[in-house]
Amino acid sequence: MRARFAICMVALLLMFQPGCKKEHPGQTDIDLKTSVERPQANGVSVIAYITEMKDYRQWPFFPNKGTLYPGKHPHGSLLVTYVSPETLIALQNNEARLPDGTIIVKENYNLQKKLQTTTVMYRIDGYNPENGDWFWLEYTPDQTVLKEGKAEGCINCHRAVKSNDWIFSGPVN
**Residue 61 belongs to domain with CATH number:** 3.50.70.20
C-alpha span between 90 and 69 (Å, rounded)? 22
Query: What is residue 7's predicted lDDT score, i.e. its pLDDT?
Result: 46
Name the DSSP class of 47: H
Q: Is residue 94 part of a domain?
A: yes
C-alpha span between 9 and 147 (Å, rounded)? 28
What's the domain range around 15?
2-37
Domain match, 30 and 47 both: no
State pLDDT tens for residues 28-77: 333 333 344 899 999 999 999 999 999 999 999 999 998 999 998 889 99
Domain match, 136 and 153 both: yes
Q: Is residue 92 part of a domain?
A: yes
Q: Is residue 68 part of a domain?
A: yes
State pLDDT tens for residues 140-157: 999 999 999 999 999 999
Q: Is residue 56 part of a domain?
A: yes
State pLDDT tens for residues 105-148: 999 999 999 999 999 999 999 999 999 999 999 999 999 999 99
- CB neighbour list of residue 20: distance below 8 Å, 6 or more residues apart: 14
